[in-house]
Amino acid sequence: MEGSPTSQPTAEFVRQVRDALAHLYDPAHLVRHDLIAQLLPGADHFGDPARALRDLLMDAVEALEPPRGSPTFERDRRPYLVILHRYVDGFPTEDIVDRLHISPRQFQREHRKGLEALAAYLWSRRPHSLPEVPQPEPSLQAEMRTLGVELDDTPLSQLLTEV
């Protein structure tokens, strides 16, 4: 299953995406990145998690390219091109500004739009995890003990597996 109950990525998730993009070709950094657990659960148990994360990010960047033939194709394509040239191709900002014939300020706007679009794309594709079961308040736990009832900390996933 894909998706998330929350439709917009958190600011922390956007920051993590930006950090991973900034280290796209640094396997030592990516191998311990927080996004692996969020986007590729279990990837650290088999294969190369750094490569899996890099491949996922590069595929996500490619998914940002708007379909050809739309009337606003060139304008809509700018955020994609900024992210592609900045992180995948590794071009300096000045080269991207020159290549796309935009101002440094426009570069910043397009970069922000592209980063937000990429984060939203990845956010919507996070695997569902079982919802966290809220822990009872300590006062409730104490009250339950006085009644002779012990609360068990069994994870919901374990309980479902046993059932």
> Which of 89-93, 129-133, 155-159 has maximum average pLDDT?
89-93
**pLDDT tens per residue, range 48-87:** 999 999 999 999 999 999 888 777 778 889 999 999 999 9
**pLDDT tens per residue, range 92-150:** 999 999 999 999 999 999 999 999 999 999 999 988 653 444 444 556 666 666 766 66
Q: Which residue has the tokens 């998730």?
A: 13
Q: What is the rounded distance in angstroms from the CA atom of residue 82 to the CA atom of residue 102? A: 11
Q: How far is CA 163 from CA 13, 128, 129, 151, in A?
A: 34, 20, 18, 19
Query: Above 80 in pLDDT, residue 6?
Result: no
For the residues of 137-157, what is the DSSP string, one character each?
PHHHHHHHHHTT-PPP---HH
pLDDT of residue 131: 44
* For helices 73-83 and 104-124, angle between their N-to-C axes, nearest 10 degrees: 80
Give me the phi and psi of 90, to 5 degrees please: 75, 25
Local structure of 2: helix, strand or coil: strand
pTM: 0.71
